[in-house]
């Protein structure tokens, strides 16, 4: 649908030879990230309390890190194991204490108060900004417990209570199952994918390589994402931005086409985007691209047809004086042809075995 900018449908160049000029900026989330390791910085008895305080704060946010942390915190000590984010969505609260005074620090994390205790969850930049103190004995021989996690390309979420660092969690990115296939389809269609993320360089590099993305930009703040898009546009590239979070808002607004992943995404991302996909499936992106290209061809054909009929009638009128009814008939013929041309968009998209991955039936996705 068209939303905000007035160019929601026209999301790809009409001619194939222009396809190589495309940049598709994608902000990939942590979809139910694997907690490869976690390290408590205090006694074992405080783990449950700290995790629940962090979950109470993150439950108010739709950030991907929070969507991974909340199920982990609620299921970490249960007999059934970790819960899924779908399970969390079906309930309300799950015994978590209320979080008050919530403030989102864009690109860094979230802070608030839980049971009269100041709680902060975010990256190390947020901890430094808040002046969070390290517990004694954490640094051994100049090495911190999470240094190895950084080398292993893990995303680290720090939890501080009352201005003191209590917990560090290592999240390991797990790409969506259809990510690699979708990237390949987009590349075959002439799209150049680029990963633009706020994650650390090692984490971004590992994720990009796992899904086949050659270009990536890490540790990007919201305004840096915007500047990157503007730089591409100055180079006369058409830029599409795919995102679902608050950090993607400015980039979604200024991209030639902003695409928000609706399920689990923030309201800000949905409001800023031109297109809202009501699914987290990346396999919808090639469908959107092919449909947009067909849409543009139909629009161009309809305009050309209408102009051509008018030109023919005008030319004939100079040769012979046409009666008034011929003008009415020509307009009716043009109207019927334009409507018939528009109805062709309802036909199923033709799939190519050389381009479309066999695991996905895009015609069924279109019908649904």
Q: What is the pLDDT of residue 264?
A: 57
User: 33 pLDDT exceeds 50?
Assistant: no
pLDDT in tens, 242-284: 987 777 888 888 999 988 886 655 677 778 888 888 877 888 8
pLDDT in tens, 18-30: 222 333 443 333 3
Beta carbons within 10 angstroms of residue 90's beta carbon = 8
Could you tell me which of 286, 256, 266 has the C-alpha nearest to residue 355? 286
Q: What are the chain's domains?
A: 16-30+175-281 (3.40.50.1000), 34-172 (3.40.1110.10), 287-367 (no CATH)
pLDDT in tens, 309-362: 888 888 888 888 778 888 888 888 888 998 998 888 887 765 433 344 444 454
Quote the DSSP letter at residue 17. G
Q: What mean pLDDT is predicted for residues 73-90?
A: 48
Predicted TM-score of the model (pTM)? 0.62
Q: Which of 92-96, 112-116, 181-185 has the lowest mean pLDDT?
A: 92-96
CB 202 within 8 A of CB 149: no
What distance in Å separates the CA atoms of residue 326 and residue 141, rounded to the nearest whole number? 92
What distance in Å separates the CA atoms of residue 194 and residue 186, rounded to the nearest whole number? 11
Residue 262 phi, psi dihedral angles, 5° rounding: -70, -45
Q: What is the pLDDT of residue 44?
A: 53
Could you tell me which of 51, 98, 41 has the C-alpha nearest to residue 74? 51
What distance in Å separates the CA atoms of residue 340 and residue 331, rounded to the nearest whole number? 14
CB 341 within 8 A of CB 305: yes
Beta carbons within 10 angstroms of residue 299's beta carbon = 16
Q: Which of 46-60, 81-95, 128-142, 292-306 has the lowest mean pLDDT?
A: 81-95
């Amino acid at each position: 649908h068209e939303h905000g900018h007035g160019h929601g449908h026209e999301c790809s160049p009409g001619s194939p030879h222009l396809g190589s000029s495309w940049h598709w900026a994608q902000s990939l989330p942590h979809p139910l990230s694997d907690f490869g390791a976690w390290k408590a910085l205090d006694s074992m008895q405080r783990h449950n309390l700290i995790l629940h305080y962090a979950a109470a704060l993150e439950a108010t946010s739709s950030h991907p890190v929070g969507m991974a942390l909340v199920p982990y915190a609620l299921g970490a000590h249960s007999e059934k194991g970790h819960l899924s984010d779908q399970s969390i969505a079906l309930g309300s609260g799950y015994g978590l204490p209320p979080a008050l005074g919530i403030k989102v620090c864009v690109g860094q994390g979230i802070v608030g108060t839980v049971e009269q205790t100041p709680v902060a969850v975010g990256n190390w930049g947020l901890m430094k900004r808040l002046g969070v103190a390290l517990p004694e004995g954490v640094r051994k021989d100049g090495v911190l417990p999470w240094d190895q996690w950084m080398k292993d390309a893990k995303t680290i979420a720090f939890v501080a209570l009352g201005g003191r660092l209590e917990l560090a969690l290592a999240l390991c990115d797990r790409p969506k199952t259809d990510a690699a296939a979708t990237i390949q389809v987009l590349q075959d269609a002439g799209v150049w994918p680029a990963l633009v993320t706020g994650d650390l360089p090692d984490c971004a590099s590992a994720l990009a390589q796992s899904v086949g993305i050659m270009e990536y930009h890490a540790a990007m703040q919201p305004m840096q994402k915007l500047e990157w898009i503007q730089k591409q546009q100055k180079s006369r590239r058409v830029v599409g931005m795919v995102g679902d979070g608050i950090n993607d808002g400015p980039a979604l607004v200024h991209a030639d086409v902003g695409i928000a992943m609706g399920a689990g995404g923030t309201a800000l991302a949905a409001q800023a985007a031109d297109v809202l996909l009501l699914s987290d499936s990346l396999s919808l992106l090639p469908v959107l691209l092919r449909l947009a290209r067909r849409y543009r061809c139909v629009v161009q054909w309809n305009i050309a047809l209408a102009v051509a009929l008018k030109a023919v009638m005008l030319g004939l009128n100079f040769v012979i004086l046409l009666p008034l009814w011929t003008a009415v008939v020509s307009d009716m013929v043009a109207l019927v042809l334009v409507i018939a041309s528009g109805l062709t968009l309802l036909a199923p998209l033709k799939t190519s075995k050389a381009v479309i991955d066999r695991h996905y039936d895009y015609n069924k996705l279109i019908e649904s």
